[in-house]
Amino acid sequence: MDMTAGILNLVLGVVYVGIGTLIAIDLDADMRRRGWSHFGVSWLTIMFTCGAHHLVHGVHLSAEGRGIGPLDILAVGLGIPAGGIFSWLRIQSRRGRTGDRTITGTPPWLRRLAIGYGAAAALTVVVGVTAVVTDGVRPDPRLLPNIALVALYIGVGAVLWRGQVRNRQRYGAWSLSGLSLMMIFPTCALMHAVYVLYAATGQFAPDYHGLWVDWIGVPSALYFLWVVRGLERGTLTDWNERFEDIDITAALPNDREELIAR
Amino acid sequence: MSPPHTVLKATTAAGDLSSRRITGLSRVLIALVVTAAASVEALPLPQWFAWVAGLAWLPAAAVLWMAEEGPASRRRTLTGMCLDLVALLSVIALAPQLAPPVMLLLIPLAAAYTYQGGARDGLLLATPALLGRWLLVLASPQVDVHPVDEIANALVTLCVILLMQRALHVRRQDARRVREVSAASETIMDRSTESILVTAPDGTILQANPAAGRVLIDPEETVLVGAGCTDRLALHEPGGRPLDCATGCALAQLCAGGDDAVEVFRWIGDARQPLLASSVPLRNELGQISHLHSFRDITTLKQADEAKTMFLATASHELKTPLTVIRGFAQLLRQTITDGHGTAALDAIESRSGELAVIIDRLLLSSRIDAGKIDLHLETFDLAELLRIRLRDLGRSLGSTVDVQIEEGLQVHASQDALATVIEHLVDNAAKYSHHEGAVAVTTRAEGSDVLIDVVDHGIGMTPTQAAQCFEKFWQAEITDVRRFGGTGIGLYIVRSLTEAMGGQVMVRSVVGRGTTFTVRVPGAPVAPPQHPTEDLVVSTLREDGPRTAETNAVDEFMDQIGLRTGRS
């Protein structure tokens, strides 16, 4: 199980770094013509820092013999589908295919999936509180970046969720790409919360590799939250808000998450 | 009342959004660096401080940064300043040896506050920070105080604040100038009665003023900006060819980079909308060329001009019929009246009515030119033969000496009647403005493939300004010229129109008090029809059956009508 989780983290890390590289290539080509893109740059930094985090985590699990607890497995189990779907759609988009799928209305399976995710999150909270009560807490300042990331990822997830709801009302359908991106952040928050829980209750010790990667992730997450919040509120302008001859209908399937992020 | 955009916005005490963002971000980055360093015990700070920094200072700084996206708030600025002071002084209080690196953090923060709110805000942060630092360091027995370092630190901070204040002052001045120029430009655009458009290199309309909206938007369309100018404006050259911007701005090419406006038109349903248009290239920093166009709807002017032309044509035509009768009967009376007084009266009637007939014929010809009802039959003929016949008759009727130097064998490709009319008008004009004793000279010569005809007088001459305007319709050098020399001011207009219609050109050189030389250049060999005739002309008033003066034609016609011929040729 630990080895599987480690390999999955390594794969996810490589995919995220790969997506970050593709974004960097796109930005390099387009920023000269269209100017600075806050969304593009913040998304790039998130992909690189999240990718680095998963790579470090994967190395710890697969090569250094670190174990993971049941909550960790649960969090990874929730996050891998979201991250996998998002990455698959990005690769599809890069290969010139449709980078999104629409889900008309709110089908029952989607409701059940949402309930399942909610139940898993609730279960994690309950188990965590129980562990804190029974095992006691050994606070360590090295857990601060993970605590900050939990708060920031929940904030990003909330903004993206509001964007998804608005798009659902506007188009009468959910965007699979948007939903998967939106779900990545709460599941990431869950993973970091589990890490804090296990480390604070002494189940494994904080390490300096993850510590530095997570501290680098904090400003990235802050920047991304600032960008998506600014785009949502209209205080920030980005590529799509400038006057250019852009074929909006052609952009919708591939760049739906950019629109959703507003 | 001034339009809203002319009101200049003053910078608020809380700063503009970009400066507030910079201050907020500086605060977050400082909190982040200190918290991260404290969390890994890289700083000699207690663990509880790392927790407080991570759970209170950093989140508070982040919240303030995010809140800057909302409306500006002085209270928020002061709250952030208090947070910064408390946090940084707390670091110094807990670890006095960290005072120098904390000062390094204070300097950019003070610069950010100065950039946001001026030197006052920078000093508001730096002064208590420096005083607090000195007090805390002096109160700490473990740290040695170096007065020179402390003074240097304070001076560096002060210099940074003053430099930033100066930069801010210059920036605000520049911004104010830009706003003033921008507001003035917008006012000009908005209030101009000219329709003004800016188009991108690909022909997309980027900007349009309200006048353009009124003049250029079709009834079924709603917007101009964002549309392609070829499709939305659908302009045509006067000849009817559509302007196509596929290979660059067609209107700019039509204007040929000059400042002069050109006439174009567009169809609005079945109605033709004539426009006077100009185009100026605008080059941006990237070297891309957009174009600034102005359009003026000249439909009303065109209608007025057409009405005037119609009036002149109708009035001239109506005057011609009774005049012909008068002249005909005067010639009829000459056969019966033989006494001196009666003959003198008949001479006066014939002379004056002849002058009037010339004026009427000129007005009619001018009207036909304006209406585009003139077409020319171009042929190759011997110029010398034409001039000999015409100038012999003309010199006799003008009562002036016409010195003719004709080069034999010059073949021209033109209309005989039109060229004869041109020469007659120029000689008549030269005789009119010459001194009584001065002779009029007509010379011809070949130049390349063209033939040049010079008509020279030694009369009153013209100034350069007058020479530039002399071919305009109804133009006279002076208002008093009408009285002094007579005439209608359309002779030279007819000369230019007919010459250009033959593919030629007429030029003028003149010196005040010394005379004027008009040079007519006509093609000397068969050439293709003129590329850009001013109008499609037909000198229908001139008979095709031989060179005759215009006034003779009308009389002859009348004489034919009443069954009498005078025998004049």
Per-residue pLDDT at B8: 38
Which residue type does B361 have?
A: D
Per-residue pLDDT at A135: 78
Q: Shortest Cα distance from A102 to chain B (angstroms)? A: 30
Residue A247 in contact with partner chain B when CB distance is under 8 A:
no
Give the containing element (helix H, strand E) for B195: strand B195-199
Task: Determine the Cα–Cα distance for residues B93 and B137; give it in Å rounded to an integer.
Answer: 8
Task: Determine the Cα–Cα distance for residues A230 and B361; give it in Å rounded to an integer.
Answer: 78
> Measuring CA to CA, which residue among A18, A57, A43, A26 is closest to residue A221?
A43
Poorest-confidence range of A106-110, A129-133, A178-182, B390-394? B390-394
**Cα-to-chain-centroid distance, residue A68:** 20
Instruction: List Cα–Cα distances, B525 to B205, B265, B543, in angstroms.
Output: 47, 35, 24
| Residue B396 reports pLDDT greater than 80 | no
Condensed to tens digits (0 to 9), the pLDDT of residues A56-90 reads 888 888 888 777 778 888 888 888 888 888 888 88
Residue B67 in contact with partner chain A when CB distance is under 8 A:
no
| Residue A242 reports pLDDT greater than 50 | no
Between residues A172 and B483, which one has the greater pLDDT?
A172
Residue B32 in contact with partner chain A when CB distance is under 8 A:
yes
Q: Shortest Cα distance from A89 to chain B (angstroms)? A: 31
Per-residue pLDDT at B31: 95
Task: Determine the Cα–Cα distance for residues B410 and B228; give it in Å rounded to an integer.
Answer: 53
For B317-378, give the DSSP string.
HHHHHHHHHHHHHHHHHHTT--SHHHHHHHHHHHHHHHHHHHHHHHHHHHHHHHHT-EE---
Order of strands across the sheet that contains B289-297: B205-208, B195-199, B289-297, B271-283, B262-268
Per-residue pLDDT at A257: 42
Between residues B164 and B486, which one has the greater pLDDT?
B164
Q: Shortest Cα distance from A216 to chain B (angstroms)? A: 10
| Residue B95 reports pLDDT greater than 60 | yes
Condensed to tens digits (0 to 9), the pLDDT of residues B210-256 reads 888 888 876 666 678 888 888 788 888 887 888 887 777 888 888 87
Between residues B8 and A135, which one has the greater pLDDT?
A135
A243 band by pLDDT with thresholds 50, 70 and 90: very low
Structure tokens at B149: 């370092």
Task: Determine the Cα–Cα distance for residues A247 and B364; give it in Å rounded to an integer.
Answer: 59
Per-residue pLDDT at B85: 94
Structure tokens at B186: 């917008």
> Measuring CA to CA, which residue among A179, A217, A180 is closest to residue A195?
A217
Burial of residue A232 (CB within 10 Å: 0-12, 13-18, 19+) is middle
Poorest-confidence range of B46-55, B90-99, B458-467? B458-467
Outline where DSSP puts E strands in A36-135: 102-104
Burial of residue A36 (CB within 10 Å: 0-12, 13-18, 19+) is exposed
Q: Could B39 and A144 be called an inter-chain contact, meaning their C-beta atoms sit closer than 8 Å?
A: yes
| Residue B473 reports pLDDT greater than 80 | no
Residue B58 in contact with partner chain A when CB distance is under 8 A:
yes
Q: Could B69 and A147 be called an inter-chain contact, meaning their C-beta atoms sit closer than 8 Å?
A: no
Instruction: List Cα–Cα distances, B130 to B104, B155, B403, in angstroms.
Output: 12, 11, 103
Structure tokens at B484: 């002094």
Per-residue pLDDT at B398: 65
A8 band by pLDDT with thresholds 50, 70 and 90: confident
> Measuring CA to CA, which residue among B229, B230, B227, B224 is closest to residue B212?
B224
Per-residue pLDDT at B285: 67
Residue B159's contacts (CB-CB under 8 Å, 6 or more residues apart) are none
Of B29, B39, B55, the CB nearest to A142: B39
Q: Could A225 and B66 be called an inter-chain contact, meaning their C-beta atoms sit closer than 8 Å?
A: yes
> Measuring CA to CA, which residue among B413, B404, B498, B417 is closest to residue B444?
B404
| Residue B299 reports pLDDT greater than 70 | yes
Give the HSE-up count for residue B146: Cα atoms under 13 Å, Cβ half-sphere: 7
Condensed to tens digits (0 to 9), the pLDDT of residues B186-212 reads 898 888 888 998 888 878 888 888 888
Give the containing element (helix H, strand E) for B412: strand B411-414
Q: Could B40 and A211 be called an inter-chain contact, meaning their C-beta atoms sit closer than 8 Å?
A: yes
Of A144, A151, A211, the CB nearest to B35: A144
Per-residue pLDDT at B322: 84
Condensed to tens digits (0 to 9), the pLDDT of residues B355-377 reads 788 788 877 787 777 777 677 78
Q: Shortest Cα distance from B450 to chain A (angstroms)? A: 53
Per CB-CB distance under 8 Å, the chain A contacts of B30 are: none
Structure tokens at B367: 């009207």
**Cα-to-chain-centroid distance, residue A202:** 27
For A141-152, give the DSSP string.
GGGHHHHHHHHH
Residue A94 in contact with partner chain B when CB distance is under 8 A:
no
| Residue B511 reports pLDDT greater than 60 | yes
Mean pLDDT of chain B: 80
Mean pLDDT of chain A: 81
Interfacial B residues in 5-24 facing A (CB < 8 Å)? 17
Residue B38 in contact with partner chain A when CB distance is under 8 A:
yes
Task: Determine the Cα–Cα distance for residues A111 and A92; give it in Å rounded to an integer.
Answer: 26
Per-residue pLDDT at B400: 65
> Measuring CA to CA, which residue among A101, A108, A103 is closest to residue A86?
A101
Structure tokens at B533: 């005739």
Residue B50 in contact with partner chain A when CB distance is under 8 A:
yes
Task: Determine the Cα–Cα distance for residues B185 and B179; give it in Å rounded to an integer.
Answer: 10
Angular region, B240: left φ>0, alpha ψ -120 to 50, beta rest: left
Per-residue pLDDT at B399: 64
Q: Could A222 and B41 be called an inter-chain contact, meaning their C-beta atoms sit closer than 8 Å?
A: no
| Residue B116 reports pLDDT greater than 70 | yes
Task: Determine the Cα–Cα distance for residues B258 and B250; give it in Å rounded to an integer.
Answer: 14
Angular region, A87: left φ>0, alpha ψ -120 to 50, beta rest: alpha
B560 band by pLDDT with thresholds 50, 70 and 90: very low
Q: Could A230 and B69 be called an inter-chain contact, meaning their C-beta atoms sit closer than 8 Å?
A: yes
Per-residue pLDDT at A221: 95
Residues B529-552, mean pLDDT to the nearest whole number: 37
Q: Shortest Cα distance from A188 to chain B (angstroms)? A: 19
B67 band by pLDDT with thresholds 50, 70 and 90: very high
Per-residue pLDDT at B564: 39
Q: Is residue B390 within 8 Å of B519, Cβ to Cβ?
A: no
Chain A residue whose CA is closest to B227: A245
> Measuring CA to CA, which residue among A239, A143, A119 is closest to residue A200?
A143
B436 band by pLDDT with thresholds 50, 70 and 90: low
Map residue B239 onto helix, strand or coil: coil
Residue B39 in contact with partner chain A when CB distance is under 8 A:
yes
Per-residue pLDDT at A137: 80
Instruction: List Cα–Cα distances, B12 to B20, B71, B126, in angstroms.
Output: 11, 11, 21
Residues B2-7, mean pLDDT to the nearest whole number: 38
Q: Shortest Cα distance from B132 to chain A (angstroms)? A: 28
Residues A238-245, mean pLDDT to the nearest whole number: 47
Mutual angle of helices B119-139 and B74-94, in 10-degree steps = 20
Per CB-CB distance under 8 Å, the chain B contacts of A144 are: 35-36, 39, 50-51, 54-55
Per-residue pLDDT at B559: 40
Per CB-CB distance under 8 Å, the chain A contacts of B43 are: none
The 10 Å Cβ neighbour count of residue B44 is 11
Of B41, B50, B58, the CB nearest to A148: B58
Residue A173's contacts (CB-CB under 8 Å, 6 or more residues apart) are A102, A103, A104, A105
Q: Shortest Cα distance from B37 to chain A (angstroms)? A: 10
In the 8-state DSSP scheme, what is residue B236?
A: B
Mutual angle of helices B17-39 and A208-233, in 10-degree steps = 160
| In chain B, % of residues over pLDDT 90 | 20
Q: Is residue A147 within 8 Å of A42, Cβ to Cβ?
A: no
Of B29, B32, B50, the CB nearest to A141: B50
Q: Shortest Cα distance from A256 to chain B (angstroms)? A: 24
| Residue B80 reports pLDDT greater than 80 | yes
Task: Determine the Cα–Cα distance for residues B362 and B29; give it in Å rounded to an integer.
Answer: 87
Chain B residue whose CA is closest to A224: B66
Structure tokens at B114: 């100065």
> Measuring CA to CA, which residue among B497, B469, B499 is closest to residue B481?
B469
Per-residue pLDDT at B30: 95
Task: Determine the Cα–Cα distance for residues A156 and A154; give it in Å rounded to an integer.
Answer: 6
Q: Could A151 and B41 be called an inter-chain contact, meaning their C-beta atoms sit closer than 8 Å?
A: no
| Residue B312 reports pLDDT greater than 80 | no
Give the containing element (helix H, strand E) for B278: strand B271-283
Between residues B22 and B489, which one has the greater pLDDT?
B22
Condensed to tens digits (0 to 9), the pLDDT of residues A14-26 reads 888 988 888 888 7
Helix residue spans in B68-218 (DSSP H): 74-94, 99-117, 119-139, 147-191, 210-216
Poorest-confidence range of A149-158, B22-31, B506-515? B506-515
Per-residue pLDDT at B566: 37
Task: Determine the Cα–Cα distance for residues B190 and B196; give it in Å rounded to an integer.
Answer: 9
Residue B28 in contact with partner chain A when CB distance is under 8 A:
yes
Per-residue pLDDT at B125: 93
B494 band by pLDDT with thresholds 50, 70 and 90: confident
Residue A226 in contact with partner chain B when CB distance is under 8 A:
yes
Per-residue pLDDT at A150: 93
Task: Determine the Cα–Cα distance for residues B170 and A74; give it in Å rounded to an integer.
Answer: 58
